[in-house]
Every structure is written in structure tokens, then in C-alpha cells.
Amino acid sequence: MDPQSLAMLSSVFVKICGIRDLETARVAVGAGADAIGFVHHPRSPRHIEPAAIRAIVEGLGSQEAETVLVVRGLPIAQVLSVARQSGVGTVQFHGGEAPEDLRQAEEAGFAVIRALSLAEFSASPVLSGRLLLDAPEPGQGELAGVEEFTRRPTAPWILAGGLTVENVRAQIEALSPDGVDVSSGVESSRGVKDHARVVQFIAAARG
């Protein structure tokens, strides 16, 4: 089992996604985030280019956290190019990519997270590797109800979708994920992180 999976099993793994500047990255990592995510998707208000991602990754210096490139619907050659330019260690696939694309990313030396909506996961065969399960409409900040989890992953998994400072602890207790992922739930406006809420979210997730 990889080090990230072991960390997820020993405590609640927390990922702050949609990072766009070094100050926010430092706040998140300093508050105890295990991972920070960078969205490379031009239609997203959280989109960030590879050079800017690398500047943040390098700017963190001795502050250690898993760095995750979040992509959707890109050809695998482009994904790998952006990931290398960005200096990240992990790629999170959000666009229903083929298993071969994920294997290519792993063979290129990147850790992989496969993000699926609950509907996609319920309809899929048994999957291995790290999973992120999102709301019925991924990226829309919708909170999934316990009754919607008709199937639970057997591998370490991360819960996303509609999480906030106010509800993350209840969702963890109800669903027992190995980790949680938040973006819009700690923002003051679309794409703009509220540093106080980032710190509060991490504290709430850890109980």
C-alpha cells in the first residue's frame, strides 16, 4: 500500500482543492492539510496554468503535502505534459478516462486518484486504487445523502461534494470515508479561498 493510503487509514486525510496562490497553499498545509489540489480546466473559476502551479509547489519549500493536478477530459499525453510542467506528484482524473490512461500516468511516475460521481461508481465494476466519490453532479457543491451510498468502496476513498465547516464532521461520522476533499465549501466567492474557513475545515474534519 502506498504512503498516502497508509496516511488515509491512520487518520482522516484532508485535501483542499482549487488552490490558486502560494499564500493559500501555505495556510492549508500549515493548518495540517495532507494534500492540495490544482484545477487545470479552463472553464473552471479555479483554473490555474502549469507554471503557476510549479511556482506554488516550489514555494512551499519544506512544507510537505501531496500535490494534486485535477484534470477533466484531456488526452493523456497532454495530462502527462501538464503534470510534468507543474511539478506535482499526483494526478486526479475527473472525466471518465479509460483505465489505460490511469495506468499510463502511474507508469510515468505519478500517483493517481480516480474521481467518480456516485452514479458512476454504483454502475462501475469493482475498482482498485484511490477513489474520490463526488455528489451526483460532480463539482456542483451538492451534499450527498447517506441513503445514496448504496455501495461502499473496498479501497481507501475520499468523500467530496458539498462539504463545509459545518457539515464535514457529521458526514465523516455517517459515511466513514478515509479522507475528505473540499473546494467551494471554504470559499468567500467562486474561486477565492477564505483562509479562516480553510483552517476551520481541517480542524473540523479531524474532530
| Contacts of 3 by beta carbon, 8 Å cutoff, 6+ apart | none
- Inter-CA distances, 86 with 32, 58, 142, 147, 160, Å: 22, 10, 29, 39, 24
17, 34, 101, 181: the active-site residue: 17
CA angle 117, 204, 191 (to 5 degrees): 55
Report the C-alpha gap between 168 and 179 in whole angstroms.
11
Strand-pair partners of 70: 39, 92
181 is annotated as an active-site residue = no
Q: Cα(133)–Cα(119) distance, rounded to whole angstroms?
A: 9
* Gyration radius (Cα) of the chain, Å: 16
Catalytic residue among 34, 134, 178, 181: 134
Q: So which residues are the catalytic ones?
A: 17, 134
